[in-house]
């Protein structure tokens, strides 16, 4: 394939961070696949193998696409796709869950909740989940069934965005979140945010990792 100048630049950039922003269908996945194969080609002798590469996507579909292209390019350029099974190409949630379950065994007993299951949990336990601790901007308490979607959004923003702790102060959302997290823990559930934040916490704190 004849790459554009910018694509080629990205493919050749082997050291340090690289951010690629481009529209849909412009060749990001292709460049990423080529970039990975380029790392194996150029750094393969310097002890960097498939097991040292982790490629995240957000969806399973995108991961499948990326994996296919990496395999095709490897066969074309390196003559084999042997050993590629050791490379993690998958969703970021899949990687983080794997990390938690491999190094913190207690998570093997946990069930992962998707967004619908999370909402049902909140609706069934509106008090224990912290939902009824919060009010809308005009002072009405959040209600089960009606406001659980909004509450899900609040929970994910507070946990995943880099919220300014000082600005949050003693906002009731703190207490609500603590209740929700205690409910998850009691029922041995992991939701998508807990998977991500749990893995980051483990990477920062756990000596084994
Ligand atoms: N420089 C290029 N020349 C020709 N085709 C290209 C080039 N870059 C990408 N493509 C093709 O364009 C299509 C979209 O690329 P893809 O990597 O899936 O885009 P994105 O991930 O940005 O949505 C693919 O079929 C890919 O092979
Ligand atoms: Mg893509």
What's the CA-to-centroid distance between 81 and ligand 1, angstroms?
21
In the listed set 21, 52, 86, which residue is the last one of a domain according to the structure?
A: 86
Q: Three-state SS for 129?
A: coil
Q: Quick one: how far is CA 59 from the chain centroid?
A: 9
pTM (two decimals): 0.83
Greatest Cα pair distance, the chain, in angstroms, is 65
- Structural domain harbouring 35: 5-86
Examine the fold and report which residue of 53, 86, 119 is the final residue of a domain before the chain moves on: 86
42 C-alpha vs ligand 1 centroid, how far in Å?
A: 23
Q: Which of 198, 204, 205 is nearest to 101 (CA)?
A: 198
99 in any annotated domain: no
Q: Where is the domain boundary, 27, 51, 86?
A: 86
Q: What is the pLDDT of residue 44?
A: 83
Q: Looking at the structure, do residues 77 and 156 belong to the same domain, yes or no?
A: no
Residue 201 lies in a domain: yes
Compute the distance from residue 41 Cα to the ligand 1 centre, in Å.
21
Residues 58 and 118 in one domain: no
Q: pLDDT tens digits, residue range 179-202?
A: 999 999 999 999 999 999 999 999
* pLDDT the model gives residue 209: 64
The CATH number for 74's domain is 3.40.50.300
Return the best residue to mutate from 27, 28, 70 for the ligand 1 pocket (most ligand atoms within 8 A of CB): 27
| pLDDT value at residue 47 | 81
What is the count of structural domains for the chain?
A: 2
Q: Which ligand is nearest to the CA of 30?
A: 1
Beta-carbon contacts of 17 under 8 Å, excluding residues fewer than 6 positions away, are: none
Using CA atoms, how far residue 57 sits from 61, 88, 89, 91, 139, in Å, is 9, 11, 8, 5, 40
d(CA 65, CA 126): 40
């Amino acid at each position: 394939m004849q790459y554009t100048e910018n694509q080629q630049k990205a493919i050749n950039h082997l050291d340090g961070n690289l951010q690629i922003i481009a529209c849909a269908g412009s060749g990001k996945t292709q460049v990423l696949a080529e970039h990975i194969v380029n790392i194996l080609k150029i750094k393969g002798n310097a002890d960097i193998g498939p097991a040292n590469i982790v490629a995240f996507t957000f969806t399973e579909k995108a991961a499948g696409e990326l994996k296919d292209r990496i395999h095709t390019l490897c066969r074309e350029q390196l003559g084999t796709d042997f050993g590629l099974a050791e490379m993690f190409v998958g969703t970021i949630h899949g990687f983080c869950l794997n990390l938690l379950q491999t190094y913190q065994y207690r998570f093997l007993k946990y069930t992962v909740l998707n967004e619908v299951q999370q909402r049902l949990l909140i609706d069934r336990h509106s008090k224990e989940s912290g939902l009824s601790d919060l009010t809308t901007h005009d002072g009405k308490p959040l209600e089960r069934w009606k406001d659980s979607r909004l509450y899900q959004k609040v929970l994910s923003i507070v946990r995943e965005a880099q919220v300014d702790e000082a600005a949050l102060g003693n906002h009731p959302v703190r207490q609500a979140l603590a209740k929700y997290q205690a409910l998850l823990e009691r029922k041995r559930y992991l939701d998508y945010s807990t998977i991500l934040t749990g893995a980051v916490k483990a990477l920062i704190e756990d000596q084994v990792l």
